[in-house]
Amino acid sequence: MVRIGAFLVGLFFSGWLLISFLFGAAAFVSDPPQATVEHEFHRDPKHVSFSFEGPFGKYDRRQLQRGFQVFKEVCSACHSLKFVAFRDLQQLGYSEAEVKAIAKQWAIKTPDVDPKTGEASTRDPVPADHFPKPFANNVAAAAANNNAIPPDLSLMTKARHHGSAYVYSLLTGFQPQPAELLKEFPDAKTPEGLHYNPYFANLNLAMAPPLTADGQVTYGDGTKPTVDQMAQDVAAFLTWTAEPKLENRHRAGVATVLFLLIATALAYMAYQNIWAEKKKAV
């Protein structure tokens, strides 16, 4: 009796799912989803190659230092790196003295409390501090950026599909709205105060083009600071902030694969040796 009841319950739910599927398919055919401006004009990230891609990829320390320079001189005015400490920069090849100097000379002071009076104050950052936020709070950030709060960039390349390429594409993707877009979607004109970028999810974002001309940053290693180069460098730097242990993972992955291959070969040879006599007997 219990089995019959269970069968009937299962049959009921299976039938209900089938009916729902048929109704959904009929609705899709009779009233297909309408094309939207985002689906029509949103673009996948551009193809760009980085040294850290692939199972054997490694960070280019010189590129990371250039990317940090771009962040410091261009991006840090609006964006934060709340999960990165100044002392982490030693992983990029900076010495301890250089890291101390970078922290002390940082344009934004670190909030503190006066131990004598208990009043709020500020001080120069030290290597143990995380990068300070450029704004006191979200209200101040929104007021300075057309009511948009600039996101923290520490994990940005992990938060976006094809993160490194996404950052590069976004920084180099600002352009006027295509005439065909306005012709097909007259109401999709970019609102005043926003900027058209086909690599952004809804095509319009509050951030103005941050990299506007070649030579905006002067590289100390002699690399020509074109917009394309600066975008690649800061994308690489933000990949490092999100995955500082990427090279360790690559090394561990290669070692694990080699171990598994050797273990598999040994196991197979042991199998052949142990069962050789049994097979002959059979």
Q: Answer with the residue of higher pLDDT: 26 or 222.
A: 222
pLDDT of residue 14: 85
DSSP designation for 271: H
Considering the domain boundaries, does residue 231 fall inside one? yes
Give the CATH number for residue 238.
1.10.760.10
Considering the domain boundaries, does residue 280 fall inside one? no
- Structural domains in the chain (count): 1
246 burial (CB, 10 Å; 0-12 / 13-18 / 19+) is middle
Residues 206-229: tens digit of each pLDDT: 999 999 999 999 999 999 999 999
Considering the domain boundaries, does residue 117 fall inside one? no
Task: Write down the residue that tokens 């590129």 correspond to.
Answer: 63
Q: Which residue range is the domain that position 78 belongs to? A: 40-84+130-244
> CA dihedral defined by 106, 107, 109, 110, rounded to 10 degrees?
-50
Residues 73-114: tens digit of each pLDDT: 999 999 999 999 999 999 999 999 999 999 999 987 777 776
> CA dihedral defined by 125, 131, 136, 138, rounded to 10 degrees?
-170
Q: How many CB atoms lie within 10 A of CB 84?
A: 22
Q: Which of 234, 177, 166 is nearest to 201 (CA)?
A: 166
Considering the domain boundaries, does residue 191 fall inside one? yes
Q: Which of 237, 253, 86 is nearest to 163 (CA)?
A: 237
Residue type, 209: P
User: Comparing 6-10, 39-43, 90-94, which segment has the lowest mean pLDDT?
Assistant: 6-10
Q: Which of 87, 67, 88, 83 is nearest to 151 (CA)?
A: 83
Considering the domain boundaries, does residue 89 fall inside one? no
Residue type, 36: T
Specify the DSSP element, H or E, that contains 3.
helix 2-30
Flag whether 250 is marked binding.
no
**Averaged pLDDT of the chain:** 89
How far apart are alpha carbons 256 and 52 in whole angstroms?
19
Considering the domain boundaries, does residue 282 fall inside one? no
Considering the domain boundaries, does residue 163 fall inside one? yes
Q: Which of 26, 36, 68, 65 is nearest to 181 (CA)?
A: 36
Rounded to the nearest 5 percent, the helix, strand and coil shares of the chain are 50, 5, 45
DSSP designation for 215: T
Confidence category of residue 172, pLDDT binned at 50, 70, 90? very high
Considering the domain boundaries, does residue 103 fall inside one? no
Q: Hey, what are 200's tokens? A: 């952004």
Question: Quick check: 215 and 225 in contact, CB under 8 A?
Answer: yes
Question: Quick check: 52 and 196 in contact, CB under 8 A?
Answer: no
Flag whether 207 is marked binding.
yes
How far apart are alpha carbons 135 and 137 in whole angstroms?
5
pTM over 0.75: yes
pLDDT of residue 187: 86
Q: Hey, what are 230's tokens? A: 């600066």
